[in-house]
Amino acid sequence: MYKFKLVPMRLLMSVLFIGFFLFTKAQPVFNDKNVFEFRGVWIATVENIDWPSKRGLSNQAQKEEFITLLDRHQKNGMNAIIMQVRPSGDAFYPSTLEPWSEYLMGTQGLPPSPFYDPLEFMIKETHKRGMEFHAWINPYRAVFNVKKSSVAPSHISKLHPEWFLTYGDKKYFNPGLPQVWQHTNRIVRDLVSRYDIDAIHMDDYFYPYRIANKDFPDEKTYQQNKRGLNKEDWRRSNCDTIVKQLYASIHQIKPGVQFGISPFGIWRNKSKDPRGSDTKAGQTNYDDLYADILLWLEKGWVDYIAPQIYWEHGHPLANYDTIINWWDQNSYGKNLYIGHGMYKAGTNTPWRDKNELPYQIKRVRSLKNTSGSAYFSSASFNNNINNWNDSLQKKYYQKPALVPTMPWLVQYKVEAPIVNKQNSNSYQIQVKMVSSIKQYAILESTNNQFSVAAILMPDSKMINLNDLGIQKKTNTIYWLVAIGKQNQLSSLVALN
């Protein structure tokens, strides 16, 4: 007969505690694109490009349209939307600082009736689908068309006309005025403090694209405050200032909220600067838009960039391959996502080639420092041009992906979930602080190669693998991981 010796409970718990962490030691590496990949879509509201489809829709129609496009993007495997909430010194949300956008109800300053908050609704629906919500603002555009746009009496261009300059058919905030910097900071601070957004996002519109034989009319402002700089450096300094200030404002209010910029695709041509790309772009960030993206990356004033690489591979002046390679070598350790020109699908010979987008995705995944893609824009997915929706669903984005973390933004450590097995396919799960969890993910690993099998909402209490369409394989290990607000992972817990 065997004799059993009683083990002290304290010792037993220590053994179990150590065993737990040894058992959950496995982790996918940060640059594993089978697990971590940004998959975003721009949703433009200016001129009703993507949403709402037209001005003056009923609340219900606006909501139904938004849910339809969200469901389409979720089905296509996306995990983030970049939603334009301030197209022209206006707002898609109630604001004491700027009027309601004309692109919502047809007249600037007119709220939806009966009243609801579109931004709050959009954020809730986006998060409900496990996707990030990036609030996209335009820092300088104030009136889209000075001849046609609806401009409310309460619009800032009416209250402070001295802050604005007209160039072509548009009115812009004067980038050289400290009052403009302060106003833009107030807008961003208001957005970040009131809404549960994951990021503030700005696009390529810093100084406007040049109009032939017409200079931007800021000479008077320059003469009043040169700061010892030539005019071009002064303009760049103005953009540097607002970017640096916004980064500080965002992280002062909510340190974990991201700040991203999607610049024009080319920083500078090599013919003008040996650090530039081997391209022949007619206009560039540095020389024409006065946006020194490399400086902002080097100084750490942005958390991610998504340069708009809207050229195809083999383009004679701006080859897709050349440009993405250049950005991959100049990301300065910040998250880099590539912007794809989906809006060009079917418009010319290169973009009628059904292999163009798959080629671009594969090239992105081959790059060491590039962590995903963003697509302009949402409406381009409406009709499955070139069968690219099918390609994403059935191949490239067939499995979900987690948004890559940004270690410098992480605010806390996520505790591993507690798992109680009910049967071979069902598990009860819980965490100490549900409020600290953004979502759960089920990972699978075969020969230490990880992929994402499913993403679950933070209020999940029970999981059933069969219900999630996961059929256990004998040579595969399944794991549950909790994900924090800054996309940080807990230790992995094996689902035996």
Distances (CA, A) of 490 to 79, 203, 369, 482: 19, 33, 23, 5
Please report the pLDDT score of residue 20 as a whole number.
Answer: 36
**Which band of pLDDT confidence, cut at 50, 70 and 90, is reported for residue 31?**
confident
Q: Is pLDDT of 423 > 70?
A: yes
Which tens digit of pLDDT belongs to each residue from 112-161?
999 999 999 999 999 999 999 999 999 999 999 999 999 999 999 999 99
Which two tokens mark 357?
């987008």
Please report the pLDDT score of residue 182 as a whole number.
Answer: 98
Tell me phi and psi for residue 369, to 5 degrees: -105, 10
* Average pLDDT of every residue of the chain: 94
Helix locations, 34-151, DSSP H = 59-75, 102-105, 118-128
Mean pLDDT of 299-316: 98
Residue 122: burial class (beta carbons within 10 Å; 0-12, 13-18, 19+):
buried
Tell me phi and psi for residue 154, to 5 degrees: -90, 0
Which candidate, 426, 427, 405, 409, places its Cα nearest to that of 418? 427
Mean pLDDT of 69-80: 98
Please report the pLDDT score of residue 14 as a whole number.
Answer: 39
Mean pLDDT of 459-474: 96
**Which band of pLDDT confidence, cut at 50, 70 and 90, is reported for residue 196?**
very high
Please report the pLDDT score of residue 421 as a whole number.
Answer: 97
Mean pLDDT of 417-423: 97
Q: Is pLDDT of 377 > 60?
A: yes
Q: Is pLDDT of 24 > 80?
A: no
Number of Cβ within 10 Å of residue 333's Cβ equals 12
Mean pLDDT of 456-479: 96
Q: Is pLDDT of 5 > 80?
A: no
Please report the pLDDT score of residue 19 as a whole number.
Answer: 32
Pairing verdict, β 164-167 and 170-173 = antiparallel
Mean pLDDT of 279-300: 98
Mean pLDDT of 365-375: 98
Q: Is pLDDT of 444 > 90?
A: yes
Please report the pLDDT score of residue 367 as a whole number.
Answer: 98
Tell me phi and psi for residue 390, to 5 degrees: -60, -40
Give the least confident one: 14-23, 37-46, 194-203, 254-263. Answer: 14-23
Tell me phi and psi for residue 429, to 5 degrees: -130, 150
Which candidate, 414, 416, 413, 410, places its Cα nearest to that of 21? 416
Domains and CATH numbers, the chain: 19-29+408-494 (2.60.40.10), 38-401 (3.20.20.80)
Q: Is pLDDT of 21 > 50?
A: no
Helix locations, 343-444, DSSP H = 349-352, 356-365, 388-391
Those residues with Cβ within 8 angstroms of residue 14's Cβ, 6 or more apart along the chain or in another chain: none
Q: Is pLDDT of 401 > 60?
A: yes
pTM to 2 decimal places:
0.95
**Which band of pLDDT confidence, cut at 50, 70 and 90, is reported for residue 474?**
very high
Q: Is pLDDT of 10 > 70?
A: no
Which two tokens mark 407?
């270690």
Rounded Cα distance, 206 and 184, in Å? 13
Q: Is pLDDT of 264 > 90?
A: yes
**Which band of pLDDT confidence, cut at 50, 70 and 90, is reported for residue 25?**
low
Angle at 264 between CA 182 and CA 272, to 5 degrees: 105
Pairing verdict, β 170-173 and 141-143 = antiparallel
Angle at 475 between CA 471 and CA 481, to 5 degrees: 65
Please report the pLDDT score of residue 388 as a whole number.
Answer: 98
Please report the pLDDT score of residue 6 as a whole number.
Answer: 38
